[in-house]
Amino acid sequence: MKRFYSSAEASPMEEGFGVLLDGRPLRTPGAALLVLPSEGLAAALSEEWSAQEERIRPASMPLTQIACTAIDLAASQSAQVVEELVGFADTELLCYRAERPADLVQRQAAVWQPLLDWAEGTYGARLVLATGILYRQQPASSLAALQEAVSRYDPFVLTALATAVRAAGSLVVGLALVERRLLPEEAFAAAELDESYCLERWGDDPQATQRRASVKSDLAVARRFVDLLGADRSIVEPIP
């Protein structure tokens, strides 16, 4: 799509903040008015729109994509999104441990176990470990606790969380990121621990490099989106 506007700027609106393109309020692909809960987020979106050149490239506006998805989809389909995300916990990446080699086993325990302990202490969700790739069912009470916690997010945080969880392949990593327990680079290291170990031993390949870059970018964008919403949007206090 060709760029059809000259200027983009953040502006106060009824019940929040918006983005004006040549003075006209921006709407989502679903034709809803784009109303955002914070001025900082509106300013960041306006920067994305201002940075567009002759043609608009949606892929270069990840914050706008998350915001529009939150308004068009998550607000009306939050139950489905919550169910999807809790499904990641039933096969939680951090619970599937290697039996060998010893240095990988130690690395998984050192990086992953503190996050599982955090999830148990924060949400009352104890997740059980397994070795190998065979499925091991998680306690129903733990999944229910995580579902209750995720259900408390508003559509904006929920959509950012979904972005992080899908990128990481882990609900615990996604939660730790949006709750500021992990920085984006730490979330990436946890989510990509096994892959990073393999790359250290056998080297990289172009497809893996591209996929990992996408994961890193998605995690960073999800965290930035939540930070722009404001600290009071999260469920729990940051852990030192």
Strand order, beta sheet including 24-25: 8-13, 16-21, 24-25
Q: What is the residue range of 102's domain?
A: 65-233
Q: Are residues 141 and 162 in the same domain?
A: yes
Co-location of 119 and 206 in the same domain: yes
Residue whose token pair is 């809960």: 37
Domain match, 82 and 178 both: yes
The pLDDT of residue 240? 36
Q: What angle do CA 199, 90, 221 make, to 5 degrees?
A: 55
Indicate yes or no: pTM above 0.85.
yes
Q: How far is CA 20 from CA 5, 8, 34, 189, in A?
A: 10, 6, 10, 38
> Are residue 53 and residue 88 in the same domain, yes or no?
no
50 and 83 housed in the same domain: no
Instruction: Using the 3D structure, point to which of 37, 59, 81 is the last residue of a domain.
Output: 59
Burial 102-136 (b: 16+ CB within 10 A, else e): eebeebbeeebeebbebbeebbebebeebeeeeee
Nearest to 224 by CA among 40, 36, 26: 40
Whether 140 is in a domain gets the answer yes
For 81-124, the pLDDT digits (tens) are 999 999 999 999 999 999 999 999 999 999 999 999 999 999 99
Q: Give yes or no: residues 52 and 69 share one domain.
A: no
pLDDT band at 219 (very low <50, low <70, confident <90, very high): very high
Q: Environment class of residue 155 by beta-carbon count within 10 Å: exposed (0-12), middle (13-18) or buried (19+)?
A: buried
Q: Are residues 42 and 76 in the same domain?
A: no
Domains contained in the chain, number: 2
Residue 233 has pLDDT above 70, yes or no: no
Kindly report the backbone phi and psi dihedral angles of residue 29, in degrees, each rounded to the nearest multiple of 5, phi listed first.
-55, -25
Helix (H) or strand (E) holding 97: strand 96-97
In a domain, 190, yes or no: yes
Q: Are residues 18 and 90 in the same domain?
A: no
Domain identity same for 147 and 133: yes
Residue-level pLDDT at 192:
98
Could you report the per-residue pLDDT of 162-187, keeping only the tens digit for each? 999 999 999 999 999 999 999 999 99
Tell me the CATH number at 183: 1.10.3580.10
Same domain, residue pair 151 and 221: yes
